[in-house]
Amino acid sequence: MRTIKQDKIMILVTEKYQKVKEKTYVAPCIRCGCDDINIDVYEDKYGDIITITCKNCKNETKKGGIVGWNNENDIDVVLSNKIKAFENLKVEISELKKLKNKRRIS
């Protein structure tokens, strides 16, 4: 297993698929900003397990592979998910307030 970095694109070459090259964007680490990210791929009976680790601060993702890493480390993705969660929370709070008022009246 080896990775070759080209700008912010990692080319992932697994031993199993030696001739298959997968170009995938890998976000820099959200904790320290380092873009030297290690990707380990190994196989177990359930399939490929991908562990992604920042070489600088050891920030690690074991769930969801590169998509999982990007969901936790790409600032735009993290921000967008937080905003969505915040908007959902606002709706939930508003509905709970309405429910509380309705129950108070009846």
**Residues of this chain that bind Zn ion (CB under 5 A):** 29, 31-32, 34, 54, 56-57, 59
Q: Which is nearer to Zn ion, 31 or 62 (CB)?
A: 31
Question: Minimum Å distance from CB 79 to Zn ion?
Answer: 18
Question: Minimum Å distance from CB 29 to Zn ion?
Answer: 3
Q: Which is nearer to Zn ion, 2 or 55 (CB)?
A: 55
- Please choose, from the candidates 54, 18, 58, 49, the residue with its C-alpha nearest in 3D space to the C-alpha of residue 38: 54
Q: Which is nearer to Zn ion, 4 or 32 (CB)?
A: 32
Q: Which is nearer to Zn ion, 24 or 56 (CB)?
A: 56
Residues 6+ apart with CB under 8 A from 59: 29, 30, 31, 32, 53, 73
Residues 6+ apart with CB under 8 A from 40: 1, 50, 51, 52, 53
Question: Minimum Å distance from CB 43 to Zn ion?
Answer: 26
Task: Give CA–CA dist 92/22, Å, rounded.
Answer: 41
Question: Minimum Å distance from CB 54 to Zn ion?
Answer: 3
Under 8 Å between Cβ of 30 and 73: yes
